[in-house]
Structure 1
């Protein structure tokens, strides 16, 4: 009899193998990011593992949803159902999304076109009025890679967590550790790190629905340059995670451990390391395994079997 996990993995892989012209998921982009595909491919070729959602990292401009304000909120923004929660989440709209660095970011000249690209208008020379509690702000964000991996056992989830934590994804964890009625346990590992994300308010929407910039073109260029730097760090961590994952699973799966940027037909041998470097690496991996066990133990103690949700099968990202 096919297990619950195998059935779900087969459906996910069928969706992932759909022709690019026919594939679409629930993410704003609607498809899997190219940068993260080598990592996803390595995971999905491993027995007992399958990715359920992912985002390689992105820069975005986001208009907050209509807030839960007071006073004339109903008159300005509509019914109770349209209101957003704290931070403007719930509703809102994307004004710009990119999963790649902005190549012209450092060209901060008077002719830069950041504001039109983000759907903003320059504010007048007069000082803006103090915002009221219902003001909808516009954020420029950088969000690092996020990846969800469904596993066939707690042992596999521990090993995925070990690879994630040792690669710098410190906010990773696992849920769904309680068994289903069939007795099967399929933990879902969320791999993420918020350490190099950022969120800057760059504008607001006025009462007429116009998106007004609160900063100038030069400042937008600085923020985009910072986001470009974070894209570089993010790509390095994705590759570090892929190699850490292969170290956990490659020997039993027959997957070659090589850099995704290696264009040589000959597979690279693992880099030589001296005794001190090896000692440090083994110590870090040991601490990561210990942390993974603690995460699993803590989650298991609070897991409610009856409330375990059906897990997503979309390969789109799960941000906001």
Structure 2
């Protein structure tokens, strides 16, 4: 697909649009693995984060800027967060929420089957809110998402509305979610490596490899079917073959031929 390759080339040539201008370390391995495979191109990612956000509603999980839609981030952490970081609440002058946002990844895929493979691996790895969208122009996007988010209001008009004890409890819960998020990313990366190996091998099998197995299987089935031909009527249509036996019977037949 020429359109896909054009989009991928343009995307990979574009400078990183985030404030820090680089991938999150926690997402880098997955992003590089996918971009190194022909049918995939990542368009945005975030490894997951803990945020103290003030005003303007929630910031989206796809970007990494400090100001998003009139929302100021008083504190951002892409890993577990010590409770000392919550001292940023002292800077609050408006409504502040503590948010945990899990790993998110958007991937442009060449074909629908590529997106389906990626979706299956993502769901099995714990990212059960993942999904596929197909645009009118045939643009296929796969989003890797999770559901274990957290958003808790802490202050109103600059006034802290909860106790210090409760803040410590929230940090503990948020850090547990971050640790689970890291485990899921690692599981997704390892599963993706395994899933892409056979997929890469299947696209260009060694010449004659598939043919070497099929004739052997047919000869054994044919040899076993010879005594039964006289007892059964011939197939109705030209070139039709008899209905295949069940998998269990076929396997037992092959095993018997091999052992006799």
Q: TM-score, normalised by structure 2?
A: 0.66
| Structure 1 unaligned blocks of 5 or more | 16-22, 67-88, 106-111, 122-135, 206-210, 255-320
Specify the alignment match of 2:256 in structure 1: none
What residue is the counterpart of 1:45 in the other structure?
A: 36
State the secondary structure of the residue aligned to 2:95: strand
- Residues 198 and 49 from structure 1, CA distance in 2 versus in 1: closer, same or farther, beyond 3 angstroms? same
CA contact (8 A) 1:146 1:192 kept: yes
Unpaired runs of 5+ residues, structure 2, are 58-67, 202-260
SS in 2 for 1:215: coil
Q: CA deviation at 1:213?
A: 1.5
1:191 is aligned to 2:144: yes
Shift of 1:94: 1.8
Shift of the alpha carbon at 1:252?
Answer: 4.1
- Structure 1 residue 164, shift from structure 2 partner: 1.0
Runs of 4+ that moved beyond 4 A? none
Pick aligned residue for 1:35 from 20, 26, 29: 26
Say yes or no: does 1:60 pair with 2:51: yes
**CA separation of 1:155 and 1:177: change in aligned 2, threshold 3 A:** farther
RMSD of aligned residue pairs (Cα, Å): 2.4
After superposition, give the CA deviation of every residue in 1:46-84 in whole Å (9 maximum; x if it has no partner): 111010000000000112328xxxxxxxxxxxxxxxxxx
- Per the alignment, residue 204 of structure 2 pairs with none
Shift of 1:24: 4.2
Aligned residue in 1 for 2:207: none
Candidates 107, 116, 119, aligned match of 2:91? 119
Partner residue of 2:176? 229
Q: Larger Cα Rg: Structure 1 or Structure 2?
A: 2
TM-score, normalised to structure 1's length?
0.54
SS of structure 1 residue aligned to 2:51: strand
- Is contact 2:54-2:92 (8 Å) kept? no
Given that 1:63 and 1:94 are in contact with CA atoms closer than 8 Å, whether structure 2 keeps it comes out as yes
CA contact (8 A) 1:154 1:186 kept: no
- The aligned counterpart of 1:239 is 186
Query: 1:1-320 to 2 correspondence within 5 Å?
Result: 3-15=2-14, 24-26=16-18, 30-65=21-56, 90-102=69-81, 104-105=82-83, 114-116=86-88, 119-120=91-92, 137-178=95-136, 180=137, 185-194=138-147, 196-205=148-157, 211-253=158-200
Contact 1:150/1:188 (8 A) holds in 2: yes
Q: Distance in 2 between matches of 1:164 and 1:113?
A: 32
Conserved? CA contact 2:75–2:88, under 8 Å = no
Q: Give the deviation of 1:113 after TM superposition.
A: 6.4
Higher helix share: 2
The 3-state SS of whatever aligns with 1:5 is helix
TM-superposed deviation, 1:90? 4.8
